[in-house]
Amino acid sequence: MKKVLLFTFSLLVCLVSISTEAQSKRKKKKDAQIEVSKPEPKKKEGKIKPYDKVITNDAISDDGLFKTHQVDDKYYFEIPNEYLGKDMLLVSRIAKLPANLGNGYVNAGTKTNTSLVIWERFQDKILIKEKSYNAVADEELPISISVKSNNYEPTLYAFDIAAFSKDSTAIVIDVTKFYSSDVKAISGLPVRLRKTYKVKNLDASRSFINSVKSFPQNIEVVQDMTYNASEPPSFGSTESISLQMNQSMILLPENPMQPRFADERVGWFTMSQIDYGSPELKADTKTYIRKWRMEPKDPEAYARGELVEPVKPIIYYLDPATPENLRKYMKEGVELWQKPFEKAGFKNAIIAKYAPSKEEDPDFSPEDIRYSVIRYVASTTRNAVGPSVSDPRTGEIIESDIIWYHNHLRSYRNRYLLETGAANPSARTLNTSSEDIGEMMKMVIAHEVGHALGLPHNMSASKAYDVESYRDGAFTQKNGIAATIMDYARYNYIAQPGDENIRFIRQIGPYDDYAINWGYRFIPEADSPEKELKKLDAWIIEKAGDPRYVFGKQSSRFDPTSQTEDIGNDALKAGDYALKNLKYVAEHLPEWTSDATNNYEDLEELYGELLGCWNRYINHVLTNVGGVYENLINPNQEGVAYQAVSKELQKASIKWLHKNAFETPNWLVDKDLITNIDYAGYTARLGNIQNRFLSSLLSFDRLGRLLDHETIDVKNYSALEMLQDVRTGIWSEANMTKNVDMYRRNLQRAYIDRMAYLMTEELNPRENKLFSVSQSDIRPLVRGELNVLKRSLINASTRATNTVTKLSL
């Protein structure tokens, strides 16, 4: 029985085994059939490809700072490993633009952004990061770790590594998207303009890379960018704004220029860094001047006091678009600065050249950052500017463009006629001689080159000369009309009819020699900025006390010695001469304009600018009231930094203002002028200017300064005295039986409005942190003056004989 059972069990096991084997064979066969029908999986290819797969035989390549390649519609940079982490400057400029962009103040050549950048590898990507030198510390100091951690640089763009060069010394990236997308950091349209023109987005279908060129020290990329915009500045029906942008990638010097510390006593454009490595108990702000690198070719000869050429002179190229009749004046304007550079020991330091032709240099382009260009812009804007690009590490100026707008000479012609026409017969015409126009242009170019060399406006230089000197032919021919060309002192408006051999147009002066020597003289014995300080200070002390070498900030609106468009050391006397001349010009203006042209366009334009001249002359005196002299001195010099204008001068200025600003200027409303300019509105036009004078005089900040001055010295001119002097002058008719004309009545109403403003308004504390109106004496003083005026007017109204006057009082 057991044998039977054992046999049966064995048989069952055998059958199960056979069945299982059969099933297994069927499954394998089925799986085999499935595998045959299923396609082989593709091998996943890496993002980084072999060089030849990316830079094919069809590539158009250019060798330079980086190798650049164009493959079909893609552009590649081949970045050498040695340039990773190197400081570079990314400069964005507008190459072409639509008309009226930015109301005419944006033009071809306008710089829209400058960033210091580095290329950096992160895993399989290359990052372009913006770097800042605003906060620094010596890398050997422990605090440098914190400086880096608390000033982490933003990443502008991340690129996938496309390939490595065949010898693995360079990395290839595709830059097509970076240069054809709306990357805000390099866009030509800032937020302000995007809002103005209601820009929606960049239209990718109409945006592309125009060209990529590589040079030894820079790469130039030209982009065409078209934006969808609801309200474009021109071609409104297209609802589009098209710009051509030039992007420059510049390798900064491997050996940075030794910077020079700034000193506010000598005017320079500056850049600042916060040095956390300072041994002081706080971070140390270091401020350097912005200047070109100027080193002698022959240091030994330079040390002996010989004039030596620089290793690298400053070269400006004239825009090929410049009219031929103006080119020589532009060239001369640039090279006027050779004399000041000779004071610093350099000859041929600055040169102007005509731009090469396509045959001479097919690669020359005004947008190329290697070239400094005087650009001639076809625009109705009346201006000229001198911007520059500098190394943010040291202040070294790398490149600059002088921008001249086509219509700018018209402004100079008009000012020449209005400001010098009384004493200068050659100015009494709309057809100013080419020699005079050329001389004006030469000096404007020289002024803008001064900015490009690093010099800001010096508004004190026009106070260096005595008023009477402007009537002396020999003096003006030698000294011009200001101690520097960097002041806004354009013409000699003081010289009177009959004065002989007068120079009417500005020129380079002694301050320019002084400032260039101070900023550019090479000091071989000083191998650090700190070691230069003693000598730089000695040069300043040597000139201290001489008004020709004083620097005045343009921002000093309270300082009567630092004003724009003024000349001479006595604003009242200069104003008397200026207004005497302006009255003569006003009388003859129709004769010199409409009578000659048989139309009134020029008369209307020049009358408007004549009012502007009157406005300037008045304001030069008005600044004396509540004025403060700002003396840029160090503690080791005599005097104080801030000093109130004397009481006598302030009272005399108020008296002068009543006579020349607030008494009705009938010479400005001569019927031969106004009846040929407009059918109405001249009363309001003149009244608005007078109201501005009054509002400026009765301003919170001016009254606040006067209140401060009382606390320093009770003998100073007080706010109460000023308010009393203004009231008695504006309402002088209240004390006599005299009728009041319409202009005076309007002015008196403006006075009431202004006093009400002083009683009810408050200064915005964010705009003025020096003065609190509600906690000052202003409102009690104003209330007292209004009460005195009220009593005076009640009495005056009973004496008035004219109905309108009586109603007004």
| pLDDT beyond 60 at 16 | no
Query: What are 664-704's pLDDT values in tens digits?
Result: 999 999 888 888 888 888 888 999 999 999 999 999 999 99
The DSSP secondary structure of 668-725, one letter per residue, reads: GG-HHHHTTT-SS-HHHHHHHHHHHHHHHHT-HHHHHHHHHHHHH-TTSPPHHHHHHH
Amino acid at 535: K
User: Could you tell me the pLDDT band of residue 763, with boundaries at 50, 70 and 90?
Assistant: confident
Amino acid at 126: I
User: Could you tell me the pLDDT band of residue 444, with boundaries at 50, 70 and 90?
Assistant: very high
Mean pLDDT of 724-737: 87
In percent, how much of the chain has pLDDT > 90? 66
Residue 799 has what pLDDT?
A: 59
Task: State the Cα–Cα distance between residues 81 and 86, nearest whole angstrom.
Answer: 10
CA-CA-CA-CA torsion sign (182, 185, 189, 194): positive
Task: State the Cα–Cα distance between residues 363 and 384, nearest whole angstrom.
Answer: 27
Q: What is the pTM of this model?
A: 0.85
| pLDDT beyond 80 at 434 | yes
Residue 794 has what pLDDT?
A: 80
Residue 357 has what pLDDT?
A: 85
Residue 9 has what pLDDT?
A: 42
The DSSP secondary structure of 228-262, one letter per residue, reads: EESS-SS-GGGTEEEEEEEEEEEEPPSSPPPP-B-
| pLDDT beyond 60 at 442 | yes
Residue 30 has what pLDDT?
A: 46
Residue 146 has what pLDDT?
A: 58
Query: What are 51-108's pLDDT values in tens digits?
Result: 999 999 999 999 999 999 999 999 999 999 999 999 999 999 888 888 888 876 677 7
CA-CA-CA-CA torsion sign (706, 709, 711, 713): negative
Mean pLDDT of 110-134: 88
Please give the mean pLDDT across all residues of the chain. Answer: 87
Collapsing DSSP to helix, strand or coil, 223 comes out as strand
User: Tokens standing for 365?
Assistant: 């382009």
Decide: residue 714, CB within 10 A, 0-12 exposed, 13-18 middle, 19+ buried.
exposed
Task: State the Cα–Cα distance between residues 494 and 492, nearest whole angstrom.
Answer: 6
Query: What are 522-541's pLDDT values in tens digits?
Result: 999 999 999 999 999 999 99
Phi-psi region of 44 (alpha: psi -120 to 50; beta: other; left: phi over 0): beta
- Strands, E, within 123-217: which ranges? 125-131, 135-136, 155-164, 170-174, 199-202, 208-214
Cα three-residue angle 192-196-199, rounded to 5 degrees: 90
Query: What are 566-602's pLDDT values in tens digits?
Result: 999 999 999 999 999 999 999 999 999 999 999 999 9
User: Could you tell me the pLDDT band of residue 40, with boundaries at 50, 70 and 90?
Assistant: very low
| pLDDT beyond 60 at 42 | no
| pLDDT beyond 60 at 38 | no
| pLDDT beyond 90 at 323 | no
The answer to whether residues 286 and 260 touch, using CB atoms and an 8 Å cutoff, is: no
In percent, how much of the chain has pLDDT > 70? 87
Residue 276 has what pLDDT?
A: 61
| pLDDT beyond 80 at 26 | no
Collapsing DSSP to helix, strand or coil, 779 comes out as helix
Mean pLDDT of 460-465: 95
Residue 11 has what pLDDT?
A: 42
Mean pLDDT of 396-425: 90
User: Could you tell me the pLDDT band of residue 154, with boundaries at 50, 70 and 90?
Assistant: confident
| pLDDT beyond 80 at 250 | yes
Task: List Cβ neighbours of 438 (8 Å cut-off, separation of 6 or more).
Answer: 326, 328, 329
Q: How many helices (H) and strands (E) does the chain have?
A: 24, 23
The answer to whether residues 506 and 490 touch, using CB atoms and an 8 Å cutoff, is: yes
User: Could you tell me the pLDDT band of residue 145, with boundaries at 50, 70 and 90?
Assistant: low
Query: What are 615-633's pLDDT values in tens digits?
Result: 999 999 999 999 999 999 9
| pLDDT beyond 70 at 20 | no
Across 143-152, 679-688, 737-746, least confident range: 143-152
| pLDDT beyond 80 at 737 | no
Mean pLDDT of 411-439: 95
| pLDDT beyond 80 at 786 | yes
Task: State the Cα–Cα distance between residues 549 and 544, nearest whole angstrom.
Answer: 7
Count Cβ atoms below 10 Å from residue 528 Cβ, excluding itself: 9
| pLDDT beyond 80 at 386 | no
